[in-house]
Structure 1
């Protein structure tokens, strides 16, 4: 049987061979720097970073662990040309080799500028850099929020400049201004200041300053990140970007409401000079005082000029005073004459109205007497009827009492007799017979009671009833109307 060449070579397991290859690669390529274009990039939830490095002919898998990713100043993005530093190793589970990347640097400024320009164009297309989005800065903010490193010289410069110009309440939000954590911390600080509720225990800033000192493009790269730009564009509080020196330009400068060339210039933009305001206020106060004094002087001069054109007060009041003296002399005589005239007129009126008034009063009295006479006969009739009724009732009661007298004691009988006598006297007093005895008489004409002179004159027969009898008068001739009886002849009425 033919033996293969090398048949005495030792047999290796797959794991042994993979380990040998791994040791060989790591021994030969323990630390390498590889230049290439970043291809597919994957960022799983574990925090590790997986990407490809490629050129025109080959592709190299690369991985950066979570701790190494946190230390990277520039994260690889698809399409970037970078120089990756790390070590080459194998992954036995898939029989592949890969580069464990410890650091990534752009292949040159050209690559960073290309990536920066591409990002700027994409964000500008969304309108994040439009001038219409920018808000005016408050003239004198009460509270100023500063996003910067608390240990650098930037915060000291800002505080010193604010203290010199116009001291204000400053809130500092400490952040990392360089490295991998710069962008998320700066974005969180901007959103944190905007999330402070007005009137709460922590005062809400009226203005935000994002500041950092100068540096290279790589050092300032965190302020070119999309998260920082979007946070600045979304800020409801006016924001000043003071990143780098005057020649440094970042994307946050384009999204901010105002760009300051230096942090010190940002403090100058934030507040005016207090002494200048005091001087301006003093100057305005002086101008106001001068204007008031000049206005008063002009109005006083105008009043004096108008007063010279007016006539003297004596010339205005002289005629009126003279008329008053004249009327004062004429007033007593006019009053006396008026009183005399009114007294004479009153006497005339009294003389003409007295007979008429007496006649009117007499007529009114006669009418009242006739009305009372008309009411007297029915009243007398009612009284007579009442007396008769009382007489009948009294007789009835008398009869009843007479029946009870036999059983009543003598005192009771005497009292009843006294009451009976009083009732009888009252009956006799109220009767018309007693009235006739007092001098009254009842005149009847043609069988009817006569109560007026006119009725008596027209009656054909008259009958007069006295207390002791009646007197009848025969037929009488009709009276002469409008003529008085002859002299010497009396009148019955």
Structure 2
């Protein structure tokens, strides 16, 4: 118990925490730390929480929302960076951390390594495959440009298109550098693809994604995975015109065509109108000249063929003579044909006198009467036969006979029921004996029988049996199972057993925010 007369100063928890905070901020007010980015968290507040680590230690860091929006590159896990800021503490959890104001890659090599890793990943998904490339339209009516609306790039593109072939150009304004540039460019590509043909805003026939030259950090937004996926998924043909001819980004590999410069993209997108008009005029002249030569040749061939044909009067002389001969024979043939048909008509009309018709009707009536009498007699015979059969069946279905048949059926049913009960009992006894034998076999093979002879089963923390001493580490928690139950234990090695920590120390460790990695240093 502390001496009540002691003159040692007493501090509250807040006083000691903020005193430590001030001390660390004074000592480490401005530092540059080099390390590899580990865990990265982006909550809805806009702040970024991350870990800087090397092979032995981990340093927690935070980038406030205002500083995060000004970063040249976005933090990604595994990237080696140099962070600039100050070291401070977080009294709420008794931990220290670095408030980062600026973040830059640790040399171009770090970004290139990350770029190569991302390139291999996207290439394995087939986003750069040649079969995905689409053919550019030869003469687009509308061109969509995704770029900054205030830079020199859009002016160069509009100027070159106006010189070569003036047409409708739609500009989707985006930031081409900074934290949000990748997301804005991807949204621009998807936005042009979402336009419907025939809508209020015309759908582009071609998309150009353009930006001027710069360093790898300046062009990093065009290496964003979202931009690459949007370019590969575009249904509209896409030209990438990012940077100068020596610069390259991942969107260049996913686009349908890469232009060396934004101006070159405009030259690729549209032809020269004057050249097209000259070509059309030349083709028109060649077509007219060829058509005139063809008509002249056909006229010459027609005249030659006409000169070889006989005169028209000679061609019609023989058919006219045949016509005159047929016309002279037609009158006589009509008279003979009429006489022949009249003779046939007279012969038929003689057979259709009223006497002949009356006789035929009487014969048909007699035949119908005969058939009616035969049908009535046949119906009576059939009815009599069915009545006799019905009477015979009714004679067999007397009440006495039915009661006799019912008594025989009940006796047979009782006999079958007795046989079924005996068979069921025998089968039940057989299955019980078989089940009893399997139970004995199972008990003989179970490891529980071995435990009853004084043995034990030792399992690790995951519940798997441990089969070798080499798999037991010093201080490992194990479970020992005996015949009448199990209990937990701890394995002891060659070192001395450390005494357990006091309960108050355990609570203090829990309130400090959880355990830390084995490689991390301690402040205590």
TM-score band by shorter chain is 0.5 to 0.7
C-alpha distance in 2 between matches for 1:15 and 1:304: 118
Partner of 2:295: 296
Partner of 2:492: none
Q: TM-score by structure 2 length?
A: 0.58
C-alpha distance in 2 between matches for 1:20 and 1:200: 66
Quick one: higher RCO (CA 8 Å, sep 6+), 1 or 2?
2
Alpha-carbon distance, 1:106 to partner: 0.5
Alpha-carbon distance, 1:10 to partner: 2.8
Alpha-carbon distance, 1:307 to partner: 5.3
Could you tell which deviates more after superposition, 135-144 or 153-162? 135-144
C-alpha distance in 2 between matches for 1:125 and 1:318: 81
Deviations 1:408-433 (A, max 9, x none): xxxxxxxxxxxxxxxxxxxxxxxxxx
C-alpha distance in 2 between matches for 1:2 and 1:181: 59
Alpha-carbon distance, 1:301 to partner: 3.2
Deviations 1:90-124 (A, max 9, x none): 01122111000111110011110010011111111
C-alpha distance in 1 between matches for 2:270 and 2:45: 46
C-alpha distance in 1 between matches for 2:316 and 2:83: 117
Is 1:281 aligned to 2:283, yes or no? no
Alpha-carbon distance, 1:305 to partner: 4.3
Deviations 1:274-316 (A, max 9, x none): 11111111111111111112112222333444456x37859x8
C-alpha distance in 2 between matches for 1:195 and 1:111: 37
Partner of 2:244: 245
Partner of 2:232: 233
Partner of 1:160: 159
Partner of 2:41: 42
Instruction: Report which of the two structures shows the higher radius of gyration computed on alpha carbons.
Output: 1
Alpha-carbon distance, 1:181 to partner: 1.2
Partner of 1:75: 74
C-alpha distance in 2 between matches for 1:311 and 1:81: 96
Alpha-carbon distance, 1:46 to partner: 2.1
Ranges in structure 1 where 5+ consecutive residues have no aligned partner = 325-334, 336-493
Partner of 1:484: none
The 3-state SS of whatever aligns with 2:156 is helix
Is 1:59 aligned to 2:68, yes or no? no
Q: CA RMSD in A?
A: 2.7
Alpha-carbon distance, 1:70 to partner: 1.4
C-alpha distance in 1 between matches for 2:30 and 2:171: 42
The 3-state SS of whatever aligns with 1:93 is coil
Partner of 2:414: none
Partner of 1:97: 96
1:330-409 aligned within 5 A: none
The 3-state SS of whatever aligns with 1:167 is coil
C-alpha distance in 2 between matches for 1:214 and 1:150: 16
C-alpha distance in 2 between matches for 1:219 and 1:143: 29
Task: Evaluate the alpha carbon distance shift between residue 320 and residue 130 of structure 1 in structure 2; reply closer, same or farther with a 3 A threshold.
Answer: closer
Partner of 1:207: 206
C-alpha distance in 2 between matches for 1:83 and 1:305: 94
The 3-state SS of whatever aligns with 2:126 is coil
C-alpha distance in 1 between matches for 2:91 and 2:166: 65
C-alpha distance in 2 between matches for 1:318 and 1:48: 104
C-alpha distance in 2 between matches for 1:2 and 1:12: 15
Partner of 2:85: 86
Task: Evaluate the alpha carbon distance shift between residue 298 and residue 75 of structure 1 in structure 2; reply closer, same or farther with a 3 A threshold.
Answer: same
Partner of 1:217: 216
The structure 1 segments of at least 4 consecutive aligned residues displaced by more than 6 Å after TM superposition are 318-321
C-alpha distance in 1 between matches for 2:64 and 2:199: 42
C-alpha distance in 2 between matches for 1:317 and 1:79: 102
C-alpha distance in 2 between matches for 1:63 and 1:202: 44
The 3-state SS of whatever aligns with 2:275 is helix
1:106-145 aligned within 5 A: 106-145=105-144
What is the count of residue pairs matched by the alignment? 320
C-alpha distance in 2 between matches for 1:317 and 1:199: 67
C-alpha distance in 1 between matches for 2:315 and 2:84: 117
The 3-state SS of whatever aligns with 2:69 is helix
